[in-house]
Amino acid sequence: MEKTYPYIEYTRESYPEAEMINRSKEFYQWMDKRRTVRDFSDKPIPKEVIENILLAASTAPSGAHKQPWTFCVVTNPDLKKQIRAAAEKEEYDSYNGRMTEEWLDDLAPLGTNWEKPFLEVAPALIIVFKRAYEFVDGKKKNNYYVTESVGLAAGFLLAAIHNAGLVALTHTPSPMNFLCKLLARPENERPFLLIPVGYLANNTQVPDLKRKTLEQIDVFYE
């Protein structure tokens, strides 16, 4: 049995140092414009845009190239309503007893609460599932570094959404098992993130938060 991939030539253009510095800076400044938002317009987004965003997410590296992810895209209003109801039920319990005082204190500046209107307003909800394992010919097959892989794909997904001129929220209703049932997912899939996507609503405000400085995040060993 053939066990290796065929290998193909791969080249990648590189840039003179000055251009590289410029490109890296511009990319950082463009990424820095991405903000998590909770206010979406209900304007629909073209399906082709979502498909391209998912394809971009799926270029992420993954353990043994298993690509252990499934992206469920919910645009159906009835289903969005059911997801909102189920998420709010869990969130209500979380905000009213399940979350620690410290956690609630940490969230207070963001002004979040158990109400999640964006789950109905945003034109699309992308629910990222991690595939704990696969079934191949009726046999269980392992996936590797599943959380790392799916985290990387989710990062690529957020960058692709930003690139399309759309906005997103990385939402983590907790617990989120209700999504397995509502979306009728197979037993090898676990919900990872729920990402509402859409156009930014008019007159949106975001907290004026500051990102860590380079000095706070880097340690160079030269």
Cis peptide before 175 (omega within 30 of 0): yes
Cβ 34 to ligand IYR shortest distance, Å: 15
- Asked if residue 206 binds ligand IYR (CB under 6 A), the reply is no
Site pattern 82..101 for ligand IYR (x: CB under 6 A): ---------x----------
Contact between 177 and ligand IYR by CB under 6 A: the answer reads no
Element (H, E) at 81: helix 77-93
Q: How many residues of this chain interact with ligand IYR, rule: CB under 6 A? A: 7
Q: Please give the angle made by the CA atoms of 82, 194 and 67, to the nearest 5 degrees.
A: 125
Q: Least distance (Å) from ligand IYR to the CB of residue 113?
A: 7
Q: Which is nearer to ligand IYR, 31 or 107 (CB)?
A: 107
Gap between the Cα atoms of 147 and 132, Å rounded = 9
| Closest CB to ligand IYR: residue number | 112
Question: What's the order of all strands across the beta sheet hosting 124-131?
Answer: 69-74, 124-131, 189-198, 167-168
Shortest Cβ 112–ligand IYR spacing (Å): 4
Told to check if 52 binds ligand IYR by CB under 6 A, we report no
Q: Which of 24, 172, 177, 204 binds ligand IYR (CB under 6 A)?
A: 172
What would the two tokens of residue 80 be? 């969005």
| Interacting span for ligand IYR (CB under 6 A) from 135-143, 151-159, 172-180, 210-218 | 172-180
- Binding status of residue 38 toward ligand IYR by CB under 6 A: no
Which among 45, 187, 50 has a CA at the least distance from the CA of 129? 187
**Is residue 71 within 8 Å of residue 127, measured between CB atoms?**
yes
Residue 161 makes CB contacts below 8 A (sequence gap 6+) with 53, 167, 168, 195, 197
Among 58, 112, 163, 188, binds ligand IYR (CB under 6 A): 112
Q: Which is nearer to ligand IYR, 84 or 171 (CB)?
A: 171
> In the bound complex, what is the minimum distance in angstroms from residue 110's beta carbon to ligand IYR?
6
Bridge partner list, 91: none
Which one-letter DSSP state was computed for residue 202?
A: T
Q: How far is CA 165 from the centre of its chain?
A: 16
Residues within the interface to ligand IYR (CB under 6 A): 91, 107, 112, 171-174
